[in-house]
Amino acid sequence: MSGRARRICVFTGSRADYGLLRGLIRALANDPGVNLDIVAAGAHLRADLGSTVAAINDDGFVPAAKIDFVQEADTPVATATALGLATIRLTEAFDRLRPDIVVVLGDRYEALAAAQSAMMLNIPIAHVHGGEATEGLIDEAVRHAISKMAHLHFTAAAPYRARVIQLGEHPDRVFNVGAPGLDNLSDLRLLSRSELSSALGFDCNRFVLVTLHPVTLDRSPPEQALEALVAALDRFPNLAVIATKSNADANGRRLNAVLEARTAQRKGRWLAAASLGQQRYLSALALADAVVGNSSSGIIEAPSLGVPTVNIGERQRGRLRAPSVIDCGSDEGAIWAAIERALSPAFRAIAARRETPYGSGGASLRIAATLKSFPLDEVLFKRFFDLREAAE
Is 25 inside any structural domain? yes
- CA dihedral 156→103→305→201, nearest 10 degrees, is -160
- CA dihedral 388→124→52→80, nearest 10 degrees, is -70
pLDDT at 280: 95
Is 304 inside any structural domain? yes
pTM of the model: 0.89
Residue 1 has pLDDT above 50, yes or no: no
Across the chain, what does the average pLDDT equal?
Answer: 93
Same domain (yes/no): 126, 96: yes
Same domain (yes/no): 29, 115: yes
Same domain (yes/no): 128, 162: yes
Contact 127, 146 (CB under 8 A): yes
| Domains contained in the chain, number | 2
Which residues, including other chains, have CB under 8 Å from residue 352's CB and lie 6 or more apart? 306
Residue 248 has pLDDT above 70, yes or no: no
Same domain (yes/no): 59, 204: no
Is 183 inside any structural domain? no
Taking residues 335-344, what's their average pLDDT? 98
The pLDDT confidence band at residue 246, using thresholds 50, 70 and 90, is confident
pLDDT at 138: 78
343: DSSP letter: T
Is 297 inside any structural domain? yes
Burial (0-12, 13-18, 19+ Cβ within 10 Å), 267: exposed
297: DSSP letter: G
Same domain (yes/no): 56, 156: yes
**How many Å apart are CA 105 and CA 10, to the nearest integer?**
9
Over pLDDT 90: what percentage of the chain?
Answer: 80
Is 357 inside any structural domain? no
Same domain (yes/no): 82, 220: no
> Residue 389: what are its φ and ψ, rounded to 5°?
-65, -40
The pLDDT confidence band at residue 356, using thresholds 50, 70 and 90, is very high
CATH code for position 292? 3.40.50.2000
Which residues, including other chains, have CB under 8 Å from residue 184's CB and lie 6 or more apart? 19, 22, 23, 278, 282, 301
Is 356 inside any structural domain? no
Same domain (yes/no): 61, 113: yes
Calculate the alpha carbon distances from 178 to 68, 153, 257, 300, 358 in Å.
31, 12, 36, 10, 5
Is 112 inside any structural domain? yes
**Segment 93-147, tens digit of pLDDT:** 999 999 999 999 999 999 999 999 999 999 999 999 999 987 767 788 999 999 9
**What do you get for the CA distance between the two ends of the chain, in Å?**
36
Burial (0-12, 13-18, 19+ Cβ within 10 Å), 375: exposed
- Listing DSSP states for 74-132 in one string gives -SHHHHHHHHHHHHHHHHHHHHHH--SEEEEESS-HHHHHHHHHHHHTT--EEEES-S-
Same domain (yes/no): 209, 310: yes
Same domain (yes/no): 223, 325: yes
Same domain (yes/no): 149, 197: no
Nearest to 154 by CA among 105, 187, 116, 99: 105
Length of the chain: 392
**How many Å apart are CA 119 and CA 162, to the nearest integer?**
23
Identity of residue 54: A
Q: Are strands 290-293 and 309-312 parallel, antiparallel or unpaired?
A: parallel
Residue 38 has pLDDT above 90, yes or no: yes
Any alpha helices (H) in 238-328, and if so which ranges? Answer: 252-265, 278-287, 301-304
Adjacency order of strands within the sheet including 309-312: 270-273, 240-244, 207-211, 290-293, 309-312, 325-328
Residue 220's H or E segment, with its range, is: none
Is 216 inside any structural domain? yes
pLDDT at 29: 97
pLDDT at 262: 94
**How many Å apart are CA 314 and CA 310, to the nearest integer?**
12
**Segment 160-173, tens digit of pLDDT:** 999 999 999 999 99
Same domain (yes/no): 305, 256: yes
Same domain (yes/no): 137, 211: no
> Residue 363: what are its φ and ψ, rounded to 5°?
-65, -40
Residue 229's domain comprises 189-351
Orientation angle between helical segments 278-287 and 15-29, nearest 10 degrees = 110
